[in-house]
């Protein structure tokens, strides 16, 4: 697309400052990232009357789900963990002919069709990485982008608002262990795992019991010469299907009946024990928490592989030696490939961290996981880890962002009052019970609790168009 037109196809005004040009984009909103959250933000902002510029560092849409992208954590066999009805945009359903758990390539094609249907591509600046976002007078923002091509050309433009949608699953979290630097085996993060050829004939240690770690361990059971799976604590392993339905659909149906959390925990723990068995039956640690007090592990293959002797569960790592790994309890194993499925750290390299009011642990302090306390024209989209699919939540979250910005135009006094409430409630957790205290659960939400909170805010944001 042209880099010199605004929503009315008139040239942007150039503001001279420090011998560099800042191009004023008027009331245009800047969206950073063209993954699922960025696409939803673009679509809903445009439907609410905003012009949009979207910057995407890669040459295609899809974000993490486009496995051709450099930062994509997706591997060849990856499927959705959430079933289709809970993983689709509410105003753009997936085909009924698709399976319950679509392959990642299907999901990418779905996002591409979403972009085509709502004519979003024409508003995306591909191959442009945002390197700096700075607040300026009047709640406006200067956004500096740089070409990822050979020229590396930088350009600064001024926007009425910024929506950050660059994702939080692309910066690997690599743990530190004594002796790791001297270890002679191969060590990779799960983000570098792409297909089973990396496992074939290897002695593999998979570290981490999240959904990715369980998937890779189950794949190693079929292709590796030996597979160990290390976890620090016990978890509840729910099957993808329970009582003939996808597990997340069954849980959502119970939630809609407003069954209290403790009753849901009792019902589903017993259902899992009856259909799958207690984790200790498979040599796994006993969970130190109730079900739903950590992010759900949905996997039907790991326990099957353990039961067939193809995966050996082991305890946490103590230290690495030159040719071996010492585990808690003194056991030593000799893998030649270690895969750390240890998650990701949220990174917003182009933002001053203080803009998001981080707490002492580094977790951003946001209202609805979207709005900072002090900057009403800055929002973050998709910074969520729900107990269901993400896209329905992102849809309504970005509708809320669009209506929030529209209210600032239509009724500034009401907007100011709502901003005060947002500042007071920033950091609230949208979950009915306690959660394991770890960075892994910084953005964990119950999808029902979160959607209800969004609905309350949307009711307050209603204005006459």
Domains 13-171+345-461 and 180-340 share a fold: yes
Q: pLDDT confidence of 334, banded at 50, 70, 90?
A: very high
Could you state, in order of their start, the residue ranges of all structural domains in the chain? 13-171+345-461, 180-340
pLDDT value for 64? 93
DSSP state of 439: G
As a whole number, the mean pLDDT across the chain is 91
Q: Kindly report, residue by residue over 195-218, the tens digit of the pLDDT.
A: 999 999 999 999 999 999 999 999
Q: Residue 405 above 50 pLDDT? A: yes
Q: Kindly report, residue by residue over 350-383, the tens digit of the pLDDT.
A: 999 999 999 888 899 999 999 999 999 999 999 9
User: What SS3 class is residue 16?
Assistant: strand
How is 67-125 classified by DSSP, letter by letter? TTSTT----TT-B-SS-GGGSSBTTBPPPTTS-SS-BHHHHHHHHHHHHHHTT-GGGEE
Q: Residue 70 above 90 pLDDT? A: no
What backbone phi and psi angles, to 5 degrees, belong to 260?
Answer: -60, 150
Which residue, among 33, 34, 29, has the nearest Cα to 46 in the 3D structure?
A: 29
Q: Kindly report, residue by residue over 278-308, the tens digit of the pLDDT.
A: 899 999 989 988 888 888 889 999 999 999 9
Give the residue-averaged pLDDT of 263-291: 89
Beta partners for 79? 103
Q: Residue 98 above 90 pLDDT? A: yes
Q: Which pairing describes strands 378-380 and 161-164: parallel, antiparallel, or unpaired?
A: parallel
Which residue, among 416, 221, 185, has the nearest Cα to 312 in the 3D structure?
A: 221
Nearest 5 degrees, angle CA 119-CA 120-CA 122?
Answer: 90
CATH 3.50.50.60 corresponds to the domain 180-340: yes
Q: Which two tokens stand for residue 415?
A: 């907007």
User: What SS3 class is residue 411?
Assistant: coil
pLDDT value for 293? 87
Contacts of 58 (CB under 8 A, 6+ apart): 34, 66, 69, 70, 126, 127, 148
In terms of CATH, what superfamily is 13-171+345-461? FAD/NAD(P)-binding domain (3.50.50.60)
């Amino acid at each position: 697309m042209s880099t010199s037109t605004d929503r009315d196809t008139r040239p942007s005004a150039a503001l001279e400052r420090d011998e560099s040009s800042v191009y004023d984009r008027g009331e245009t909103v800047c969206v950073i990232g063209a993954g699922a959250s960025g696409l939803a933000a673009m679509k809903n902002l445009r439907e609410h009357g905003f012009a949009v510029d979207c910057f995407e560092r890669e040459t295609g849409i899809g974000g993490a789900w486009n496995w051709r992208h450099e930062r994509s954590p997706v591997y060849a066999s990856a499927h959705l963990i959430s079933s289709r009805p809970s993983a689709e945009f509410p105003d753009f359903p997936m085909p009924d002919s698709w399976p319950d758990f679509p392959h990642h390539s299907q999901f990418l094609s779905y996002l591409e069709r979403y972009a085509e249907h709502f004519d979003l591509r024409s508003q995306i600046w591909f191959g442009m990485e945002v390197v700096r976002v700075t607040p300026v007078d009047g709640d406006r923002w200067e956004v500096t982008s740089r070409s990822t091509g050979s020229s590396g050309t930088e350009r600064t433009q001024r926007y009425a608002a910024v929506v950050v949608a660059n994702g939080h699953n692309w910066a690997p979290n690599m743990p530190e262990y004594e002796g790791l630097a001297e270890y002679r085996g191969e060590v990779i993060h799960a983000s570098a795992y792409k297909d089973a050829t990396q496992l074939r004939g290897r002695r593999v240690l998979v570290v981490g019991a999240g959904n990715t770690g369980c998937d890779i361990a189950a794949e190693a059971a079929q292709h590796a010469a030996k597979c160990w799976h290390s976890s620090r604590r016990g978890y509840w392993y729910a099957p993808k299907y329970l009582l003939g339905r996808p597990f997340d659909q069954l849980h959502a149906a119970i939630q809609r009946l407003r069954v209290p959390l403790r009753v849901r925990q009792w019902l589903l723990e017993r259902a899992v024990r009856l259909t799958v068995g207690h984790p200790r039956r498979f040599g796994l640690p006993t969970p130190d928490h109730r079900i739903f007090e950590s992010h759900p592990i949905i996997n039907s293959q790991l326990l099957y592989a353990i039961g067939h002797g193809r995966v050996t569960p082991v305890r946490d790592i103590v230290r690495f030696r030159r040719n071996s790994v010492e585990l808690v309890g003194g056991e030593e194993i000799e893998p030649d490939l270690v895969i750390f499925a240890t998650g990701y750290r949220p990174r917003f390299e182009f933002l001053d961290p203080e803009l998001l009011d981080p707490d002492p642990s580094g977790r951003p302090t946001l209202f609805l996981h979207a709005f900072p306390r002090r900057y009403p024209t800055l929002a973050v989209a998709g910074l969520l880890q729900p107990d269901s699919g993400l896209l329905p939540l992102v849809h309504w979250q970005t509708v809320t962002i669009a209506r929030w910005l529209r209210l600032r135009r239509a009724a500034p006094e009401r907007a100011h009052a709502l901003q005060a409430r947002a500042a007071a409630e920033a950091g609230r957790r949208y979950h009915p019970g306690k959660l394991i205290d770890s960075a892994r659960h910084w953005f964990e939400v119950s999808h029902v609790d979160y959607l209800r909170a969004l609905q309350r805010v949307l009711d307050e944001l209603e204005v006459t168009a």
